[in-house]
């Protein structure tokens, strides 16, 4: 596999992964999301055999544009993840050096 083909493969995989993650912002329930994930996969499979470099570039640009258009204004964040609703909640108290206060 040439380096150009490998780079293209990585770009398509990145678009696919970002599409799935973006769809999770809109479909939090897994049963509904699964249907959307299958539709996304079908879209990628539909264009799997395109070989013309110009057509491929147009498809990649259109997908990037579509991802920007479908970006959720308030993306889902896992509760315990950074910026989640439980991030840094109930942190253990800082224990001071107990020997410093004794005479």
* 27-47 confidence digits (pLDDT tens): 989 999 999 999 999 999 999
Q: What is the pLDDT of residue 99?
A: 64
Q: What is the pLDDT of residue 94?
A: 80
Using the structure block, give the residue that is written with the tokens 């990628």.
44
Q: What is the pLDDT of residue 98?
A: 63
Is 60 exceeded by the pLDDT of residue 66? yes
Q: What is the pLDDT of residues 67-98, one digit of tens each?
A: 999 999 888 877 888 877 777 777 777 887 66
CB atoms within 10 A of CB 23: 19
* Residues 6 or more apart in contact with residue 80 via CB below 8 angstroms: 86, 87
Q: For 83, left (φ over 0), alpha (ψ -120 to 50), or beta? A: left
């Amino acid at each position: 596999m040439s380096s150009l083909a490998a780079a293209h493969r990585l770009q398509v995989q990145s678009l696919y992964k970002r599409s799935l993650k973006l769809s999770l912002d809109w479909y939090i329930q897994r049963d509904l999301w699964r249907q959307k994930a299958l539709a996304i996969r079908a879209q990628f499979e539909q264009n799997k055999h395109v070989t013309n470099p110009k057509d491929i570039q147009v498809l990649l640009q259109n997908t990037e544009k579509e991802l920007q258009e479908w970006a959720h204004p308030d993306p889902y964040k896992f509760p315990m993840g950074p910026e989640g609703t439980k991030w840094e909640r109930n942190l253990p108290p800082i224990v001071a050096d107990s020997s410093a206060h004794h005479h």
